[in-house]
Amino acid sequence: MADFDDIKKIRDLDKYNMLDILLGLPKQCREAIDIARRFKAPAGYKVASFDKIIFTGLGGSAIGGDIIKTYLSARIDKPITVNRNYDVPAFVDNKTLAFVSSYSGDTEETISAYNQIKKKRAKIIVITAGGKLKKLAENDKIPHILIPSGIPPRTAVGYMSIIPLVALSKMKFIKSEAAALEESINVLENLRDDILNPSLPAPSNVAKAIARKLYNRFVIVYGAENFLSAVATRWRQELEENAKILCLAGVFPEMNHNEITGWEDVRHISKDFSVIFLRDKDEHPRVSRRIEISSGLIGRRAENIIEVASRGRSLLARTFSLIYIGTFVSFYLAILNSVDPTPVNNVTYLKKQLAVNK
């Protein structure tokens, strides 16, 4: 087990400087706002022209759509769908606004979806750092927003979520989010400096303290069905990609109707579980009660029960606060596991094999 309080050892293990990228998320969010503000949607992209919105992408390029979908669920009168597939739903048509996101620009599922969306005559906005998708958008004269390249796709969450959010505001789908965005960035900066910074030892460093409880455990993350469903997905993705562990994510109240029964008899492996409950002050009061009861039931089997509360006033700030804490938890757990958080060897191998058999 590596020492995550030794900065030199962290730097030696973190060969691709993931830590610096994570520490720079507040700056990335400010850059995302500036990029989105410079974007001008074509004249035909009027809010009255659309009756639905779709995001299509995979992995770190899709999480922005999840965040926006759940964040805007009570703010927007048009349905939002997130598509993670080669094909797109039959309902996509010329009244659909489609955000096509691929950080690399070469994600084959996203390229396939882009071509289908174009055939269905939906209005498209591409978000990418380059690659084939950028070339297609240029050739097809499709509006596209270029973001900086050179970082792992999963670390581009500021670009992939804030840019479409600001774009939707500029197109009058929603009111300005400027105040919530400013608060969100301030919350991220405070978290980075006060409770997540690598110079802080556990238990003062909240993420290190959580990572220690997750070490050598199978992790399950639960959140409420509202915006926390996207956050729980993000925690799962980053624990898997950064710390290289298997992880599950579930949501309330749905898990109370099926998954909770799976906890009845896990005696032979119960010591290997750590369970995280993501909490927010605005979760439904009945969900709060469900979490309380479920925590008691699960606590009979799992040794580690961890609650992580959101920070901030606005819903957007609270969303990003939980995402940022989870990001650092996954980073510090990678260090404890003595693995470089950046490489995703199985993903790289899979893509190479797919290219051979194309």
Q: What is the DSSP letter of 219?
A: E
Catalytic residue at 284? no
Q: Is 144 a residue of the active site?
A: no
Token readout for 185 is 């960035």
In the set 9, 118, 170, 351, the catalytic residue is: 351
3-state class (DSSP) for residue 123: strand
Contact 232, 250 (CB under 8 A): yes
**HSE of 231, CA atoms in CB hemisphere, 13 A:** 29
Whether the Cβ atoms of residue 23 and residue 200 lie closer than 8 Å to each other: no
Task: Collapse the DSSP code of 206 into the 3-class scheme (helix H, G, I; strand E, B; otherwise coil) and give the result.
Answer: helix
- 208 is a catalytic site residue: no
Q: Give me 209's structure tokens.
A: 């303290």
Q: Which of the residues 257, 268, 352, 358 is marked catalytic? A: 257
Give the other-Cβ count within 10 Å of 207's Cβ: 26
**How many angstroms separate the most distant Cα atoms in the chain?**
62
Neighbours of 308 (CB within 10 A): 22
Catalytic member of 109, 240, 241, 283: 241
Residues 322, 315: Cα–Cα separation, whole Å:
11
Burial string for 215-240 (b: 16+ CB within 10 Å, else e) reads eebebbbbbbbbbbbbbbbbbbbbbb
Residues pairing with 128 in the sheet? 102, 146
- Dig out the tokens for 124 from the structure: 């498209």
* CA pair distance 43, 171, nearest whole angstrom: 10
Q: Residue 194 carries which DSSP code?
A: I
Q: Is 74 helix (H, G, I), strand (E, B) or coil?
A: coil
Give the bridge partners for 145, in sequence order.
127
Active site residues: 241, 257, 351
